[in-house]
Homo-oligomer: A and B are copies of this chain.
């Protein structure tokens, strides 16, 4: 385990980790746009061209950071859900939403990297999909739990949306009613609207008590997907 292959392979793993670590530091400090390969190399005492042995391009380094950010957010959300324990699904929902907001405020540049404007000329590879889905999967689980316990409040869908709702349900949560899945997907996107507006300054001079405002809005989102507060 300590030396799976030769010393060379071990060194490679260590250097790769050091590059990612320094890149993450610079990302957190300055943002993705100011993340410079040369600065990372400089800080690590190596020359910029040497860095290309580990990451073929700046975009590949960014991809690694994107995956890390998704996983960090996913882990935080999952931990918050676990810590919430066996409470009403609606309260679990709010707890997870609040943790997403907390994580975003603590890691603004990472958040901007994964949920802000995409870097031009960059398209995220398939590898980012599973980490990106973690929060969504978690929210689905909460609604599933509520459905198993006492059902969810049901609403009517417009006819034009019914086939799509059925398709999404089949794809994401076959055990849930299509209206619930549709509402869930919308609430998922709306959650990030709330977080993004606060983080990117759109709430400046508008909302002051942001935590209380967010808590209320998250509770309304829960209500929208059919979760009820006991």
Question: Interface on A for B, CB 8 Å cutoff?
Answer: 30-34, 109, 112-113, 115-121, 124, 129, 132, 157-158, 160-161, 163-164, 167-168, 171-172, 182-183, 185-186, 188-194, 196-198, 200-203, 205-209, 212-213, 215-217, 219-220, 224
Known A117-B117, A189-B194, A192-B197; contact A216-B158, beta-carbon cutoff 8 A: yes
Which residues in B have their C-beta under 8 angstroms from that of A202? 115, 132, 189, 192
Which residues in B have their C-beta under 8 angstroms from that of A120? 30-34, 109
Which residues in B have their C-beta under 8 angstroms from that of A132? 202
The answer, among B30, B113, B193, B216, for a CB contact under 8 Å with A193, is B193
CA distance A78 to B105 in the complex (A): 33
A129 touching B205, Cβ below 8 Å: yes
B209 touching A185, Cβ below 8 Å: no
Known A206-B168, A207-B168; contact A216-B182, beta-carbon cutoff 8 A: yes
The answer, among B30, B118, B171, B215, for a CB contact under 8 Å with A112, is B118
Which interface residue of A189, A197, A201 has the most chain B CB atoms within 10 A?
A: A189
CA distance A171 to B209 in the complex (A): 14
Question: Closest CB-CB distance, A126 to chain B, in whole Å?
Answer: 10
Given contacts A158-B219, A190-B194, 15 further A-B contacts (CB under 8 A): A30-B120, A32-B117, A109-B120, A115-B202, A116-B116, A116-B200, A118-B201, A158-B215, A164-B209, A164-B212, A164-B213, A168-B206, A168-B207, A171-B206, A182-B216
Question: Closest CB-CB distance, A201 to chain B, in whole Å?
Answer: 7
Which residues in B have their C-beta under 8 angstroms from that of A172? 206
Which residues in B have their C-beta under 8 angstroms from that of A160? 209, 212, 215
The answer, among B33, B113, B196, for a CB contact under 8 Å with A119, is B33
Known A115-B200, A164-B208, A212-B158; contact A220-B183, beta-carbon cutoff 8 A: yes
Q: List 26 A-B residue pairs with CB atoms under 8 Å apart, sorted by A's residue number.
A: A30-B120, A32-B120, A33-B119, A34-B120, A112-B118, A115-B196, A115-B200, A116-B117, A116-B200, A132-B202, A157-B216, A158-B216, A160-B215, A164-B207, A164-B212, A167-B208, A168-B206, A171-B206, A186-B194, A186-B217, A186-B220, A189-B197, A189-B202, A189-B203, A190-B190, A190-B217
